[in-house]
Amino acid sequence: MANSKRPITANDFKKLAVYSDPQFTPDGSGYAFVSTTVTDNNDYASQIFVQELSTNKLKQWTYGDDKNSNPRFSPDGKKVVFQSNRSGVPQLWLLHTDGGEAKQITTFKNGAINPEWSKNGRTIIFTASLDSDDDVKSQKEQSKEERKKEREEKNKQPLIVTSLRYKSDAKGFHDDKKSQIILYDVEGETFTQLTTEDSHHGYQDISPDGTNVLFAGNLNEDAEYELTNDLYTVNVTTKEVTKLTNGNGSYHSASYSPSGDKIAFFGHEQTHAGATLNELYILDVESRERTCLSGEWDFQLGDLMIGDTRLGSSTTGPVWSKNEDKLFFIGTDHGATGLYQVNLQGELKVLYKNDNHVFGFTYDENTESFVIGVSTPTNPCNYYLLDHESNLSRLTNANTKFLEEVELSEPETITYQANDGWDIQGWLLRPYGFEEGKKYPFVLEIHGGPHAMYGQTFFHEMQLLAAKGYVVLYTNPRGSHGYGQEFVDACRADYGGNDYTDLMSAVDYALENYSFIDEDRLGVTGGSYGGFMTNWIVGHTNRFKAAVTQRSISNWLSFYGVSDIGYFFTKWELGHNLLDDTTKLWEFSPLKYAEKVETPLLILHGEQDYRCPIEQGEQLFVALKHLRKEVEFVRFPGASHELSRSGKPEMRIERLNHICRWFEKYL
């Protein structure tokens, strides 16, 4: 029987609207959200929409090819503040909800981001990047020509590096500017800088009485050598800073209770380094006594789902109930994320979990209901109303035209046993136009992290490979989130060990249980840690006929000094850094096994990847080419580690086309 719909293409993600950041109106009558799309000029645009719950009527509030985001309603609902780059860099704009043009309220040289209202609506708190001698009262936005000239002049000067953390994949090379917290008086139209330390300050919340602002950061002199992140308050009047946490962990997502007596937050004390599960804490503001509500749980708090079409951020919790007797948050568990509730005695309740991806939510204290964002493997995103009686009703119909056109493959969940008896979860997609009795080529996908999770969300790359005629298998080997602390910690100091055999067991299971897979046409691909594992696989088995390694690690010896995280990540994940044991790091390095590679390998790497720098791909390519192996190297100009998720759209399409080309050639 012929398919009535067409197969998905590499270009199709350009047709998607991606929703994020739902925010209830103060009276609970509707909510705002952000919709991100791809523009005709090879970039992304984000627009703010509002939907009335009584009529389900959608109203678009912003237009154009700009990035408009972070809408936040004033407590009386009469205004909304948001950030927009329409003037050149992100600035804050104020819009009356009954109509009219938006008014620009900041003209900071380096922009202003992440606005929030005080509880009385008189002030707006935001973050701005400032030099130590900047005056917030005289900030002037540069023109396009001035910014261009400054960049050109900067590019003529050498970069003088004195800090260990001098670069990041997200921002490139750092300068001396630090993110500071600013208070804007709405009526007086004046600015007050609340923080001044030579450190980054991450705004968290403002106390209900407006006297203190809660932020996260590390204000220690040795901050660049530490991996801790504490919570602090700064008094709005005196500017006095008070440290709330103990300096032994990493804490974030903090919010005051409605009375201001307590603070809820996520965090951990790095008992398992970067593989430590988040805990949910309550801090008594007066006594400073801290209580852990999640001590008996064994799953990750927050959203750790991996996808390639999620753009924009959303609230994942913890969020206080109206009576401050409960907290709400998103949790990551067994390939899905859901909305959870906990009371102050630590009693956990699932409010919504339906084997899909809850990517964000907003809570209305008037009706005690939620708007939740949900993605499934065959539907990129929609919003739903979850009322106080747990009734679920759909609010939006995103991407209708796209979904009417294309055939998407529904994944089949599998569970197989690893060599040591551990249960491993995965998903299998059948190819477009599947016919019984035919044999199909196969591709194993391996996620990055490694402490992340594949699961029940929309994944364009998986669907594309299925559309191209491949059986696609993706799994969560040990090291993945979603299966408890022991599981997520189990790959540390064992890269290429049981995590590798978990993946090989997945292939064995698929071949044993699905007769339509052609065992002579197996492919493998993955990015970041998945790229490392692809490199490791081709150096340890010849069962795959083609491999594509993306933004990978090939040599842990050099990774230590070139990655923006190498100096601590190497120790965290392998148990050694370069100065501890070079022999051990070399044994963990796929480059060591280059002579054993017989699988044709395509290496994809971004030129400006500072997480897994391009020299990692270069070393592997040169070694394999020198050995006269079948290898090809594709370098993506201007691309960071995030190429596959938020890179320039045309580069993302090129990447997907190269993957498909390689597998078509060899499978």
Residues forming the active site:
528, 641
CA distance 428 to 414: 7
CA proximity to 50, closest of 77, 27, 23, 69: 23
Report which DSSP code applies to 229.
Answer: B
CA proximity to 207, closest of 255, 252, 265: 255
CA distance 21 to 24: 10
CA distance 332 to 315: 14
- List Cβ neighbours of 652 (8 Å cut-off, separation of 6 or more): 13, 643, 644
Tokens found for residue 633 = 């190297």
CA distance 507 to 501: 10
Which run of H or E residues covers position 33?
strand 30-38
CA proximity to 610, closest of 568, 551, 653, 541: 551
Q: Provide the phi-psi class of 498: left if phi over 0, else alpha when psi is between -120 and 50, else beta.
A: alpha
Distance of CA 492 to the CA centre of its chain: 21
- List Cβ neighbours of 168 (8 Å cut-off, separation of 6 or more): 174, 564, 610
Tokens found for residue 526 = 């993955």
| 421-456 core/surface letters (b: 16 or more CB in 10 A; e: else) | ebebbbbbbbbbeeeeeeebbbbbbbbbbbbbbbbb
